[in-house]
Amino acid sequence: MSRPAHSRGRRSYPTVLAAIFFWVMLSVAPVLAKESVQIGGTGNALGVMKLLGAAYEKNHPTVHIEVLPSMGTTGGIKAVLDGAIDLAIAGRSLNDEEGKAGGVGVEIARTPFVFVTNATNPQNGVTAAELVNIYSLKTLSWPGGEPIRLVLRPARETSSTILKAISPDMEKAIAIAMAREGMVFAATDQDSADAVAKMPGSLGASTLTQILTEKLPIKILALNGVTASVKALANGSYQLYKPIVVVTTPRTSVAGRGFAAFINSAEARTILENSGNFTGPFK
């Protein structure tokens, strides 16, 4: 007996579903086969790491570079030492304890460390002396009368360490600001930038690379009359900076080491320089 006319030439549902499943698996197989390299650490360098990761993946289709949310310099170093991630990005050199635990840090770049304010603030610059007065709470408003709203970071955070190192007077001023009740503290670089962007009259710190790569809507203030730039950092006219240090361990995966090596390539240096970083030589 022949099949009914309306069923001739039609595939059964199981056959159609099997075909769909086959083509879906073919399309996702390359993604599933990729080896993931997880990177975490200081928030200010996450944006440029994403750019470097995208460039690396173009020539290494079997590797996926996963840049994790900010966990801070110390958190990133601890994670890589524990084997939880492949690479850490730090905003400082490793200390003796971290080195003895197997960490190896290589400074790949320096990015200008800058003072920032809300985009609507008409102020365009500050001096080191003015900063001391602001952080010691002697100066409470901008020249136009707008109240100054400081955005601080935790005392042991790298950005706070850089601020304290500006001068002995600045170290004392930071201590005064941190001791005052009701001050705004930001846990990560991203939180800090968000607070600065949202608060009129704000004053905080960031890095040139974070501002450029994340396209942050905040204003960079000139320091002592000098505008921060890669060129100014290279020639020494602008001296405040935050290092970008890549941290590996003997347990870092082969794929992770491959990406770490790429970060030192000419292609990567161009990406870094175009993203607000000076790649050396360092003095």
Domains of the chain and any CATH numbers: 34-109+243-274 (3.40.190.10), 111-235 (3.40.190.10)
Q: Which residues, 6+ apart, have CB-to-CB distance to 59 below 8 Å?
A: none
> Could you read off the pLDDT of 46-60 as tens digits, one per residue?
999 999 999 999 999
Per-residue pLDDT, averaged over 173-182, amounts to: 97
Please report, rounded to a whole number, the percentage of residues in the chain having pLDDT higher than 90: 88
- Mean pLDDT, rounded, for 143-168: 96
DSSP character for 45? G
Work out the average pLDDT over 257-273. 97
How distant, in Å, are the alpha carbons of 107, 113, 166, 243, 247 from that of 171? 25, 16, 7, 20, 28
What DSSP state is assigned to residue 76?
H
pLDDT of the residue at 283? 82
> Helix axis angle, 128-135 relative to 168-179, nearest 10°?
30
110, 277 Cβ separation under 8 angstroms: yes
Question: Where residue 7 falls among pLDDT bands split at 50, 70, 90?
Answer: very low
Q: Are 183 and 174 in contact (CB under 8 A)?
A: no
The residue among 122, 123, 142, 144 whose CA lies nearest residue 133 is 142
Structure tokens at 209: 């690379």
Nearest C-alpha neighbor of 113 from the set 24, 50, 207, 235: 207
Tokens of 200: 């009129």
Which H or E run includes 114? strand 104-118
Of 168, 184, 185, 183, nearest to 128 (Cα)? 168
Radius of gyration of the chain (CA): 25
Mean pLDDT of the chain: 92
Asked if residues 125 and 223 have their Cβ atoms less than 8 Å apart, the reply is yes
Residue 232 CA to residue 230 CA, distance in Å, equals 6
pLDDT exceeding 70 applies to what percent of the chain?
Answer: 88
Summarize the confidence of residues 193-208 as an average pLDDT.
98
pLDDT interval class at 245 (50, 70, 90): very high
